[in-house]
Structure 1
Amino acid sequence: MNYTEALAYLDGYVNFERTAPDGPRAMFGLARLRELAARLGDPQEEFPALHVAGTKGKGSVCAFAAAMLQAAGLRVGLYTSPHLVHVRERIRVDGAPIAEERFAQLLTRCRPVLEKMRVRPAAERRLTYFEVLTHLAFLHFAETPVDVAVVEVGMGGRLDATNIVEPVACGIASLGLEHTRILGSTLPQIAREKAGIFKPGARGVSAPQPQDAAEVLVEMAGKVGLPLEFLGRELQLVTRPAPADHARPALLPRLEAEVRSTAEDWQASAILGLPGRFQAENWALAARLAHLAHLKIRNRPLPEEAIRRGAAEVHWPGRLEEFPRAPGGPNFLVDGAHTPNSVNTIVEELRRLCPAADPRVVLFACAKDKDAEGMLRALASYASEIVFTCSGNARGRAPEELAGLWRQIARRAPVVQPDLDKALAAARTLAAARPDGLLVALGSLYLVGALKERQDTRGDAGR
């Protein structure tokens, strides 16, 4: 198969990122995935892994950790999801996406095995898009080979396709309610699913969590003998504004962060390459995880210079990302926030970073299974205007439905434009009404991806 044919073949597998699963978590399981891995030679056993689960921030944690380990001289695999523009973004080695030719070659080699596994009883669920991609990533990492793979969980943890790796360190980013039909309707239930990545012999680090969720994580860690540290408890984080960088636009100033262990002689500090106070927590979690992984793999601490350089040079698109400002146009930020907590966090950051912004225009789209009402409540006191549109994802919620919710919550009329190009033009016009206007796109990583694709092809999204 060539690359185009490989993409078409992959698209023949059910994709739960675009079509939400219609059954309970019992429909998922690792037995089929272990069988597939065994048929492919168990590539996941050829490299140590740093495994990260969570509700928000886990992608940023992975990006920071990979950048710091790479800065230390390790060859680093990075597997994340979803992608923003092209699927190859998900599978990287030392920051470079897997090549089209390599992607097609691997899938061509795997196809006979995949076809054999498609011959199953009708009642048995078939392999999914994500599961096939996960095994492609593991093959790529094993054959490169990498010194370590940083692996982001797709959904949950316990039954996720990535949960066949051999981790040296396990991280839990901030937890919240998500995928409740699959993972459970309470934070303790969700924490139990996330903690399913804990393995004997690994070390664990968690972001600060609500008490009931933290108690479950501690319980689950104890069951497998995994030492577990928490930011805010064994690890203390402090932040301060970074020195002004006159070569960088001042719209999104950077932070300087320091994390130190209260239990051992370890600390790290850096100026962060990703804006937002919430990224300091993600960096601290990543720095500790990367240190523990490096200690296990190289038998020595992660160098301080690698921590500083990796933190400064990290690249993670779609997270408070500033798009180029067109002449006469507004400042334009995009973020993949898609839960009420993450949207509220972005709103707080925007109030702090851009206090003079006026008007504040939001371009919004979200998936059907997301808490749209909660996100819109978080935006009601912030957005001067809001434009509802479609991201192009089949799971997307109709803009007209979102508009109905907005009228109930904010008591104001929104702009409804299903066509993304027209919606973007309308939002830019609204935000450009005054010199300090700000346009923010959020609610869905698919929306961010669609905007970035337009930016890549046109040089400026909506210009």
Structure 2
Amino acid sequence: MARTYESALSHLAALQSNRAITSLFSPPAIPASSASTAPKQDLNSLAIPEMLAWLQRAGLSQDDLAAKLRYIHVAGTKGKGSVCAYITALLALGDVKIHRAAGKVGTYTSPHLVSVRERIAIDGSPISQELFARYFFEVWDACTEAARTELAARRAGKPDRENDPAGEAEVISEEELQGPATKPFYFRFLTIVALRAFLGEGVRSAIIECGIGGEYDSTNVLPPSSVTASVVTQLGIDHVGMLGGTLPEIAWHKSGVYKPGRKCYTRKLDGKGSTEAAAIAEKTMQVLRQRAQEKGATLIELQDADVERWGGLTASGKGAGILEGSFQKYNQALAVRAAAEHLRVLASESLNYSSEGEQRTNTAADERSDDASPSFTSALRFARLRGRCETHEDEHAPITWLIDGAHTAESLTEVARWFSSKIVQDNSKAKSVLLFNQQDRDAAKLVSGLLEGIKAKTPGPTDRGQEQLFTHAVFSRNDLSPRALSTDTGEGTEPERDLSVQRAAAEALSTISPATSTSVLDNVADAVAEVRALANRNDGARTTVLVTGSLHLVGALLRTLEPDTED
């Protein structure tokens, strides 16, 4: 078997997908009436024992993970990626003394947009193809050998005639042993690869983003004593089958990253807007507080007033980074606090500190974000995270792409605010185009909410008319390219792609904005070509394109806009 990067990607694609796992969950995992207590035995509860077994098969133990690594664990619905990017910048990309104190900084996030290597970064940069392939096959081969050993042990014992009278479980070919059947599913496998890479490359500080939830997430096998701090970012309704359909239920899962004797940072919910929202917010906070008490953790609730008084670091100006959006100050505040606590714990353990001068870096921020020293927080400007409030200037057409992979109603509200702040209101020749998809949720409802949000946040009327927020809208699947065609018949070699979701979203937009023309396409390459054609017919005026609704859509878009980017 070739041990190349290309071979690693091929093997990775053969693993059971995350979607195949999440589809197993249909009823909410936690009853709404008992959101603050552990759920009954279900598929979720099997996750951590299974993940620990996979770690063992891959040649890792919790002792290995605790020996040299110290972790910041990040959960939440929205803002996890941003918080991880900010913590990485604070520890690895700013002050040299702080970087020396933190040691090599590893960051594990998901999903990726262009290259799978984005998920595993060291000091802010994705690991190389060579390193990815090396650690990928170390894990792959270890799992293969573990399966072979387990099979040999079963064959050496007496067959279980009651459950397997024919002994069929013992008949496994070498090809099956070496294949994906003896490996964990996609996210678990990459989590193990990341941990193995961090150990192999001498990482000291690891920033770990949860995949889904927290309590039963694959990343929650981190040794509790080695987690220096945790973060629960903004909460929202997502992954209902696994996490439940209310904020208190979801809060129960996210607070699984709490660790005994450690601090967890979160934004205090106040439920502004209505009595009902305030009641839900208070119940959610009660769950978070009760879970902290049960787990012996200290919950630090960041007050909006304190964060707003601090103001954060804006993304305006050259070299200020690409993490835009007024909401980022809340993510920045969480990152500052967690990074400072991480340094404080490292100092208390005397890890990687060589002088009294370096030890004082742990006081960069403590209980208030606005106490953080400017020299510490200035590193926030180095944070990078593709596909979140990102502005991209097209090289082939007069287009400004405004890109955000938001995919929930709450996050699309922030996109509406960001987009409204970016568009030029007094340019009657400017075209605004929407490129949208959401394959798994109610796309029609989400696009309607997005438009209503933009209307509410855009001062008007404008020369184009308040009702025509976009001159054109494209609804595309996330597929990167058109269907392959047969060279003999010219017909597609794969079935027609289902476009019912896209058509429903287009109809919803037409109801709100009848003057907006729409198109429905089955791939992103054709969508980009259509938008560029529209822009090039715009008499030299610039076209602004909002791309949102799905990180998968954003990933396909970036690969189309940057075809020469190394995978």
Q: How do residues 24-39 of structure 1 correspond to structure 2 at under 5 angstroms? A: 26-28=42-44, 29-39=47-57
Whether 2:214 is the aligned partner of 1:157: answer yes
Give SS of 1:222's match: helix
Shift of 1:91: 0.5
Relative to structure 1, the CA distance from residue 302 to residue 21 in structure 2 (aligned partners, 3 Å threshold; closer, same or farther) is farther
Instruction: State the TM-score, normalized to the length of structure 2.
Output: 0.70
Q: SS at 1:391's partner residue? A: coil
| Deviation, structure 1 residue 354 | 2.5
2:477 is matched by which residue type in structure 1?
C
Counterpart residue identity of residue 387, structure 1: V
In the alignment, which residue of structure 2 is the partner of 1:131?
188
2:324 match:
275
8 Å Cα contact 1:68/1:306 also seen in 2:
no
Distance (whole Å) between structure 2 residues aligned to residue 172 and residue 330 of structure 1: 36
Quick check: 2:72–2:230 contact (8 Å CA) kept in 1? Answer: yes
2:85 alignment counterpart: 63
Between Structure 1 and Structure 2, how many residues are aligned? 433
| Higher-helix-fraction structure | 2
Residues 1:375 and 2:446 are matched in the alignment:
yes
Query: How many angstroms apart in 2 are the aligned matches of 1:247 and 1:235?
Result: 27
- Report the equivalent of 1:263: none
| 1:159 maps to amino acid | Y
Structure 2 letter corresponding to 1:15: S
Seen in structure 2, the aligned counterparts of structure 1 residues 244 and 104 have a Cα distance that, compared at 3 Å, is: closer
**Against the structure 1 CA distance between its residues 330 and 100, is the aligned structure 2 distance closer, same or farther, given a 3 Å change threshold?**
closer
Aligned to 2:431: 359
* CA distance, structure 1, for counterparts of residue 109 and residue 315 of structure 2: 32
Structure 1: tracts of 5 or more residues without a match: 249-253, 255-271
Amino acid at match of 2:65: Q
Whether the aligned pair in 2 keeps the contact of 1:360 and 1:431 (CA below 8 Å) is no
Q: How does 1:67-146 map to 2 (within 5 A)?
A: 67-70=89-92, 71=94, 72-73=98-99, 74=102, 75-115=104-144, 116-117=146-147, 127-146=184-203
Q: In structure 2, do the counterparts of structure 1 residues 327 and 140 end up closer, same or farther at CA, with 3 Å as the change threshold? A: closer
Counterpart of 1:267?
A: none
3-state secondary structure, aligned to 1:163? helix
More off after superposition, 274-283 vs 432-441: 432-441
- Cα distance in 1, alignment partners of residues 293 and 315 from structure 2: 45
In structure 2, what is the equivalent of residue 191 of structure 1?
251
Structure 2 matches for 1:163-178, cutoff 5 A?
Answer: 163-166=220-223, 167-178=227-238
Aligned 8 A contact 2:439 2:501 in 1: no
Distance 1:449 1:289 in 2: 29
Shift of 1:373: 3.2
CA distance in structure 2 between the aligned counterparts of 1:206 and 1:213, rounded to whole angstroms = 12
Residue 415 of structure 2: which of 342, 346, 350 is its match? Answer: 346
Among all aligned residue pairs of Structure 1 and Structure 2, give the percentage whose two residues are the same amino acid: 29
- CA, structure 1 residues 375+18, in 2 after alignment: closer, same or farther (shift >3 Å)? farther
State how far apart, in whole Å, the 1-side matches of 2:523 and 2:322 are: 33
What letter corresponds to residue 80 of structure 2 in structure 1?
K
Q: CA deviation at 1:241?
A: 9.7
Shift of 1:38: 3.2
Render the CA deviation track for 1:269-315: whole Å, top value 9, x for unaligned. Answer: xxx76211011111111111111111111244254355333201111
Helix, strand or coil for the counterpart of 1:237? helix
Alignment of 1:199-214 (within 5 A): 199-209=259-269, 210-214=281-285
1:438–1:409 Cα change, 3 Å:
closer
1:222 is the counterpart of 2:293? yes
Tell me what 1:294 maps to: 343
Q: Deviations over 1:369-412 (max 9, x none)?
A: x3423321223344413211121289xx9444232244146414
Secondary structure at the aligned position of 2:230 is classed as strand
SS in 2 for 1:238: helix
Given that residues 18 and 393 in structure 1 are in contact (C-alpha distance below 8 angstroms), is that contact kept between their aligned partners in structure 2? no
Deviation readout 1:331-389 (Å, 9 max, x if unpaired): 21111111111111111121123252743211012232x34233212233444132111
- Give the TM-score normalised by the residue count of structure 1: 0.85
| Backbone CA RMSD of aligned residues | 3.0
Looking at structure 2, the residues matched to 129 and 288 of structure 1 have their Cα atoms a distance apart, in angstroms, of 32
Report the CA distance between 1:428 and its aligned residue: 3.6
> Which runs of 5 or more structure 2 residues have no equivalent in the other structure?
30-41, 152-162, 164-168, 170-180, 270-280, 349-359, 365-372, 455-468, 482-496
Q: 1:230, 1:355 → 2: CA distance?
A: 37
Judge which range, 433-442 or 196-205, deviates more. 433-442
1:423 maps to what in 2? 527
Deviation at 1:109, TM superposition (A): 2.1
Amino acid in structure 2 at the alignment position of 1:219: Q
Q: Is the 8 A contact 2:107 2:122 kept in 1?
A: yes
Residues in 2 aligned to 1:243 and 1:12: alpha-carbon distance in whole angstroms:
42
Separation (CA, whole Å) in 2 of partners of 1:162 and 1:98: 19
Distance in 2 separating the partners of 1:243 and 1:7: 37
Counterpart contact for 1:191–1:216, Cα < 8 Å: yes
Deviation of the 1:419 alpha carbon:
2.7
Identify if the C-alpha distance between structure 1 residues 133 and 240 changes in structure 2 by more than 3 Å, giving closer, same or farther.
Answer: closer
The answer (yes or no) to whether the contact 2:389–2:402 under 8 Å persists in 1 is: yes
Provide, for residues 157-191 of structure 1, a one-character-per-residue CA deviation record: whole Å limited to 9, x for no partner: 11111001131111011100000011111111111
* Residue correspondence of structure 1 range 251-262 to structure 2 within 5 A: none
Mapped to 1, the partners of 2:182 and 2:502 lie a distance apart of 33
- Give the Å deviation of 1:143: 2.1
CA distance in structure 2 between the partners assigned to 1:158 and 1:240 by the alignment: 32
Q: Distance in 1 between matches of 2:542 and 2:393?
A: 15
Shift of 1:427: 2.6
Contact 2:448 2:508 in 1 (8 A): no
The residue identity in structure 1 corresponding to 2:393 is P
The verdict on how the C-alpha distance between 1:237 and 1:288 changes in structure 2, with shifts beyond 3 A counting, is: farther
> Does the Cα contact within 8 Å between 1:334 and 1:448 map onto a contact in 2?
yes
Q: In the alignment, does 2:57 pair up with 1:44?
A: no
1:386 maps onto 2:473 in alignment: yes
Contact 2:322 2:385 in 1 (8 A): no
Correspondence for 2:493: none
